[in-house]
Homo-oligomer: A and B are copies of this chain.
Amino acid sequence: MSADERREAVLRAARVEFGQHGYAAATTEAIARRVGVSQPYLFRLFPSKKAIFLASIDYCFDRLELRFEAAADGLTGEDALTAMGLSYNGLLEDRPVLQMQLQMWSAACHDDEVRALARRRLAGLWQQIARLSGTDEKRIMQFMASGMLLNVFAALELPRITEQLGEALMGLVDTRPTP
């Protein structure tokens, strides 16, 4: 397998480990085991543990932005927001991604690099949502806030409540999210 493919595999594994245990408690050993390579080899693919973490953050945001782009395709305004909200709700099944996002905010508390990256990517996401929906700032804030609450409910492992919550927050009436 090429180094690039391995790096991709590492990011997938790292997202799970970091999401479950947080940056500090996740071990490079566990990531390596999940990938199926030796632990030292991670340091051939990435310069440091933190580099893996930062790359994982980018990886998650990249995927999320692609997802939003696809969901809002051809839609505008409140319709686009709804579609993106449903798409995010569908992401609930991929818990590692949500957990990873929570872990990122936590890590941002004390690490300058993480905070800088998190700010940049959140701003980018914000602008993307604004561009795709065209709705006003206040509405986007509500949208973002809903997402944050969904993250927390995912962390607390309340999937049923989370679904109801998603519907309530999106202002939906009995629609079934199947993106």
Q: Which of A133-162 contact B (CB under 8 A)?
A: 137-138, 141-142, 144-146, 148-149, 151-152, 155-158
Chain A's interface size range is 35 or more
The listed residue (B23, B119, B137, B141) touching A156 by CB distance below 8 A is B119
User: Which chain B residues border A103 with CB–CB below 8 Å?
Assistant: 106, 109
Main secondary structure of the interface of A (DSSP, over half): helix
The answer to whether A22 touches B165 (Cβ under 8 A) is: no
Most B Cβ at <10 Å: residue of A22, A118, A177: A22
- In this assembly, does A20 line the interface, its C-beta being within 8 Å of a C-beta of chain B? yes
Taking the complex as formed, is A19 at the interface, i.e. its CB lies under 8 A from any CB of chain B?
yes
Q: How far is the CB of A53 from chain B (nearest CB, A)?
A: 12
Contacts of A19 on B, CB cut-off 8 Å?
109
A23 to B21, CA, bound (A): 10
Q: Contact mask A16-32 → B, CB, 8 Å, 1/0?
A: 00011111110000000
Query: B165 and A107: CB pair below 8 A?
Result: no
Which of A5-13, A66-74, A168-176 is the contact stretch?
A168-176
- Nearest residue (CB) in B for A118 is B156
A45 at the interface (CB under 8 A from B): no
A122 within 8 A of B: yes
